[in-house]
Amino acid sequence: DQQVKQNSPSLSVQEGRISILNCDYTNSMFDYFLWYKKYPAEGPTFLISISSIKDKNEDGRFTVFLNKSAKHLSLHIVPSQPGDSAVYFCAASASNTGKLIFGQGTTLQVKP
C-alpha cells in the first residue's frame, strides 16, 4: 500500500517558467512533510519541509503548499532553472513513528 504517491513520473518545463510537482498521501497521521532532490549517482538532498500546522512554507525559489483536507502537497519552483533538473521525492512522517515514507519520485527536466 503506497501511502505517499507521486502520480507524475516526469515533468518537463521551460527555463524561467513555474514547475509544480504534486504529491498525495493517504495516512491522516502524517504531520510533517519534506521534499528531497536527487541527482544521478548522488543521494537525495533535503530541499524544504512543512509541518501540518502550516499550509505554506517558502524558501527562495521553492514553495511548498499543504492541503490537509485533500491530503495533497505540492512543490512550486519559480523561476525554474536548468540546474533544477533532477528527481524530486516527497516524503511524509508521523511524529510518533520516527520514519519517513517516500513517494516514487518525479523526474523534472528544465529546458534552456
User: Please, which residue, 6 or 80, has the CB nearer to another protein?
Assistant: 6
The vertex-73 CA angle with 71 and 75, nearest 5°, equals 175
DSSP class of residue 13 equals E
* Torsion from C-alpha of 12, 58, 92, 110, nearest 10 degrees: 10
Interface with another protein, residue 101, by CB under 8 A: yes
Closest approach of Cβ 36 to another protein, in Å? 8
Total residues at the site for another protein (CB under 8 A)? 28
Residues 29-88 that bind another protein (CB under 8 A): 31-32, 34, 36, 41-46, 49
Rule CB under 8 A: say whether 105 interacts with another protein.
yes
Distance from the Cα of residue 22 to its chain's centroid: 7
Residue 9's nearest CA partner among 109, 94, 82 is 109
* Footprint of another protein (CB under 8 A): 4, 6, 9, 31-32, 34, 36, 41-46, 49, 89, 91, 93-95, 97-105
